[in-house]
Amino acid sequence: MNATLPTHAGEAVRVEGWIHRRRTFAGLTFLVLRDRSGLTQAVVTDGSTRRQVEDLPEETVVRVEGTVRANPKAPGGVEVIAPVVTPLSPPASPSPVELWRPRLDAALPTLLDHGAISWRHPAQNAVWQVAAASLRGFRQTLDAAGFTEVATPKVTATASESGADVFSVDWFGRPAFLAQSPQLHKQVLVGVFERVYETGPVFRAEPHDTARHLAQYTSLDVELGFLEDHHDVLAVLRDVLAGMAAAVAEQVGGGTRPPGLELPVVPAVVPVLHFRDALRLVGADPEEPDLAPEHERALSRWALREHGSEFLAVEGYPAAKRPFYTHPQPDDPRWTNSFDLLFRGLELVTGGQRLHRHADYVRALTARGEDPERYRSYLDVFAHGMPPHGGFAIGLERWVARLTGLDNVRRSTLFPRDLHRLTP
Amino acid sequence: MNATLPTHAGEAVRVEGWIHRRRTFAGLTFLVLRDRSGLTQAVVTDGSTRRQVEDLPEETVVRVEGTVRANPKAPGGVEVIAPVVTPLSPPASPSPVELWRPRLDAALPTLLDHGAISWRHPAQNAVWQVAAASLRGFRQTLDAAGFTEVATPKVTATASESGADVFSVDWFGRPAFLAQSPQLHKQVLVGVFERVYETGPVFRAEPHDTARHLAQYTSLDVELGFLEDHHDVLAVLRDVLAGMAAAVAEQVGGGTRPPGLELPVVPAVVPVLHFRDALRLVGADPEEPDLAPEHERALSRWALREHGSEFLAVEGYPAAKRPFYTHPQPDDPRWTNSFDLLFRGLELVTGGQRLHRHADYVRALTARGEDPERYRSYLDVFAHGMPPHGGFAIGLERWVARLTGLDNVRRSTLFPRDLHRLTP
């Protein structure tokens, strides 16, 4: 229902929105109007207005002017009577998805082909309100902690995360790449601002066609200097997640709640498990270099059982599987000061401590058979005084999908881009 | 000076940051430390610490532990005495720009080649704090007015602003383009959320090599439905600018002020001048289809003189020079319901009312010799009920440059991208 109406019982009102549904009975027609605050029911009894409304298909945009009347049986306890209806758009063509149904049951490709229509459904709209609230909570938490928001280039001369899975751009005739992450830029900006964040698009030419990969997604990036190790990064991550969860709770308190939403409880301290112990716990080969999706699910179940936590940080990932900028574990360089954060069975965040000495970068790249010269414009900065630092990146669409119980990140992305999809 | 120190006079403190400057006198060495809160002076008298500090070049990262002492002659009225200095990075290589000087006087290419060093200068750093505060003020104003933040695709199958000046991307072997703006996506999202905004990168393959063009810039995009005409858009723009200016004022009140900063006064109503009258006012040929830079400067001077306003909206731009989605001026379709906002002599914002009927789009595109089929995935939405709507886009870097008196937008961009520059 329209959140602002109940205060106006007995008064004249004007509501503008979309015809969500018309229902015709013997002596009257119900006109249900949808706007950003919800649904409003208008009761049409006048004969010519009934005929007018019958000619206005669902999704036509109209202005309704009438009088508010209390009615305990109407949505929200009020309805609009004696409405005068003025169309604000031509009569709408038949919708490719039936928005008036309680659940959108169209197939995923249909929903995505008509994204700007599908998202009008109140339950789908509410999913994106969760995303917007998450962004708000993310920024508020970091602004309060002395972080500076930055904007980094999305086209670069060098791939940031080694050469794989990168899109090529023709830059005035020169070869260039879409940024896979703001990684190297956010790191060198620690030298300027100490603590930085960015919310923006990142691009992965993922050949995977799965329910959790997108070719463009929104990355919530954080980087901070002057830390002991990756546990300081985890402490900031914990506060950020708590801030995001609180902003979502506030949002759904005042608006529509996505049907599958389950708000998480962020523990005061996120439990941490070493990668080596994680492998043992799930019964995997101790030489495995990474966690399989079923391992991540098993570890999440374990954290919930043992620690009552929906969040689990797995630290110490093997150096061989982490990017060149990852800081080794000081007492055993086979492992690293890095972590993945698992949330409800899925990797949601990657983070850790980075190298901060120029010589360490040259060594790390050389050991991987990469030419440090390719990274020169970033690496040079590390010769000019960089503090110990680290950071993390949260995938917004994964966070929202986990929070709202969606089985595919495409359902928490307004206009997904993937191996097959380049429109709308 | 370090903003947190004065409260600690007489106490032991720890400050971590960069060696900004060392000054050696007969019996003592001043060590000036820079961190995100400012500069802190430490007084070194102990012989071995003096020798240690002499071996630590400017920009080396250190921890300083000592005792706070009041000293009216020190920056901020306090200094740190008997410091113990612990290096946190290897000794820094000589800096390509001299950060300790009151003004960075290196040439622009040098500053940009070493952006992550140049931005460390307190005056440069303060410029980006103005940008971050502007983003904050933009979002706060719109959140309070019921707008929803959205994220749109940056790679599309169709160029959004006609075919010129667009970068090509290889999308899994298919041709694609970097988005020149979120224009069509933000418009169709009005059908979902009524009021939307996005802050994000846009890409223009500008062949211009000028002080006001960038190939990637940060666009602050707004779109709203249910309006009468472009004057409703201008009213929202006015509030947004006032919110941005207020956030900047708050930021510089508590931090370093960029030397050239002049805060604007945003009038309660922005003065509006019709394009036709603007041409007459500057003495241009009445058939001119656009305003030249010198016209924009003359009009800004006129607005300041006649209306006491640093902002001027020029409305009614000729249809021939506006994009296909622009709404015509109802009483004379040679003109449009669009505007440019001039600020201190420069075009800062473009906005206006858009077409909202499917048939109008087909007509407009056909009249321009464009095939509506190319835009089908967006245009289809206009057959499904779209309200009258409009919006605007602010260029963040231009706003910051004007606010801080910088002569080139590259000075208000962390890592500019242009015709020549693809690094760092």
Write out pLDDT tens, residues B172-192: 999 999 999 999 999 999 999
Higher pLDDT among residues B53 and A209, named by residue: B53
Q: Chain A interface, mutation test: which of B4, B256, B384, B421, most A Cβ atoms within 10 Å? A: B384
Write out pLDDT tens, residues A225-265: 999 999 999 999 999 999 999 999 999 998 789 999 999 99
Chain B residue numbers touching A146 (CB-CB < 8 A): 36
Say which of A174, A386, A387 has its CB closest to residue B422: A174
- pLDDT of B158 over the 90 cut: no
Q: For residues B327 and B322, give the distance between their C-alpha atoms in angstroms, rounded to a whole number.
A: 9
**Closest Cα in chain B, distance from residue A43 (Å):** 22
What ipTM was estimated for this complex? 0.97
Cross-chain Cβ contact B385/A216 below 8 Å: no
Choose the CATH number for B115-412 among 1.10.510.10, 3.30.360.10, 3.30.930.10, 1.10.10.10: 3.30.930.10
Say which of B125, B170, B358 has its CB closest to residue A168: B170
For chain A positions 101-160, those within 8 Å of chain B (CB to CB) are: 113-114, 116-117, 119-120, 125, 128-129, 131-132, 135-136, 139, 143, 146, 148-158
Whether cis (ω within 30° of 0) applies to the bond prior to A424 is: yes
Say which of B131, B170, B377 has its CB closest to residue A167: B170
**Closest Cα in chain A, distance from residue B287 (Å):** 34
CB-based contacts of B4, cutoff 8 Å, min separation 6: B37
Count CB pairs under 8 A between chains A and B. Answer: 234
Cross-chain Cβ contact A189/B119 below 8 Å: yes
Q: For residues B341 and B234, give the distance between their C-alpha atoms in angstroms, rounded to a whole number.
A: 9
| Residue B424, Cβ density class (10 Å: 0-12 exposed, 13-18 middle, ≥19 buried) | buried
- pLDDT of B290 over the 80 cut: yes
Q: For residues A192 and B121, give the distance between their C-alpha atoms in angstroms, rounded to a whole number.
A: 8
Q: For residues A326 and A341, give the distance between their C-alpha atoms in angstroms, rounded to a whole number.
A: 16
**Closest Cα in chain A, distance from residue B384 (Å):** 5
As a whole number of Å, the end-to-end CA separation of chain A is: 30
pLDDT of residue A379: 94
Q: Domain A5-94 is of which CATH architecture? A: Beta Barrel (2.40)
Chain B residue numbers touching A396 (CB-CB < 8 A): 151
Chain A residue numbers touching B15 (CB-CB < 8 A): none
Return the exposure string of A126-161: e unless at least 16 CB atoms fall within 10 Å of the residue's CB, then b.
bbbbbbbbbbbbbbbbbeeeebbbbbbbbbbbbbbb
- State the Cα angle at A394 between A393 and A399, rounded to 5°: 170
pLDDT class of B160 with cuts at 50, 70, 90: low
Tell me A162's DSSP state: B
pLDDT class of B303 with cuts at 50, 70, 90: very high
Cross-chain Cβ contact B167/A169 below 8 Å: yes
| Residue A48, Cβ density class (10 Å: 0-12 exposed, 13-18 middle, ≥19 buried) | exposed
pLDDT of residue B1: 47
Chain B residue numbers touching A176 (CB-CB < 8 A): 422
Cross-chain Cβ contact B136/A143 below 8 Å: yes
Chain A residue numbers touching B359 (CB-CB < 8 A): 90
* Closest CA in chain B for residue A113: B377
Chain B residue numbers touching A384 (CB-CB < 8 A): 59, 92-93, 95, 117
State in words which class domain B6-94 has: mainly beta
Cβ distance A311 to A266 under 8 Å? Answer: yes
**Rounded average pLDDT over A88-92:** 98
pLDDT class of B254 with cuts at 50, 70, 90: confident
- pLDDT of B52 over the 50 cut: yes
Write out pLDDT tens, residues A392-421: 999 999 999 999 999 999 999 999 999 999
* Closest CA in chain B for residue A226: B16
**Closest Cα in chain B, distance from residue A88 (Å):** 6
B16 touches chain A (CB under 8 A): yes
Write out pLDDT tens, residues A349-390: 999 999 999 999 999 999 999 999 989 989 999 999 999 999
For chain B positions 340-379, those within 8 Å of chain A (CB to CB) are: 356-359, 377-378
* Closest CA in chain A for residue B206: A172
Tell me B259's DSSP state: T
* Sequence-ordered strand ranges (E) for A204-333: 216-225, 272-274, 311-315
**Rounded average pLDDT over A13-38:** 96
Query: Tokens for A360?
Result: 């360490």
- pLDDT of A162 over the 90 cut: no
CB-based contacts of B127, cutoff 8 Å, min separation 6: B258, B400, B404, B406, B411, B412
Chain A residue numbers touching B146 (CB-CB < 8 A): 36
pLDDT of residue A40: 94
Cross-chain Cβ contact B424/A149 below 8 Å: no
Q: Chain B interface, mutation test: which of A186, A188, A384, most B Cβ atoms within 10 Å? A: A384
Q: For residues B47 and B33, give the distance between their C-alpha atoms in angstroms, rounded to a whole number.
A: 19
SS3 state at A48: helix
CA distances, B41 to each of A229, B24, B68, B76, B374 (Å): 28, 13, 10, 9, 63
Write out pLDDT tens, residues B87-123: 999 999 999 999 999 999 899 999 999 999 999 999 9
Domains of chain B by residue range: 6-94, 115-412
Cross-chain Cβ contact B117/A357 below 8 Å: no
Query: Tokens for A117?
Result: 């229509």
CB-based contacts of B26, cutoff 8 Å, min separation 6: none
> What is B321-389 written as a DSSP string?
GS-TTBPBPTT-TTBBSEEEEEETTEEEEEEEEB---HHHHHHHHHHTT--GGGGHHHHGGGGS---SE
Chain B residue numbers touching A143 (CB-CB < 8 A): 136
Write out pLDDT tens, residues B26-48: 999 999 999 999 999 999 999 99
Cross-chain Cβ contact A387/B114 below 8 Å: no
pLDDT class of B163 with cuts at 50, 70, 90: low
CB-based contacts of A293, cutoff 8 Å, min separation 6: A346
Cross-chain Cβ contact B143/A153 below 8 Å: no
Cross-chain Cβ contact A16/B387 below 8 Å: yes
pLDDT of residue A2: 61
CA distances, A282 to each of A275, A295, A306, A347, A349 (Å): 11, 6, 14, 16, 20
pLDDT of residue A1: 47
A175 touches chain B (CB under 8 A): no
Q: For residues B166 and A148, give the distance between their C-alpha atoms in angstroms, rounded to a whole number.
A: 31
Say which of B171, B356, B422 has its CB closest to residue A176: B422
pLDDT of residue B161: 65
Cross-chain Cβ contact A61/B387 below 8 Å: yes
| Residue A165, Cβ density class (10 Å: 0-12 exposed, 13-18 middle, ≥19 buried) | middle
- pLDDT of A67 over the 60 cut: yes
B71 touches chain A (CB under 8 A): no
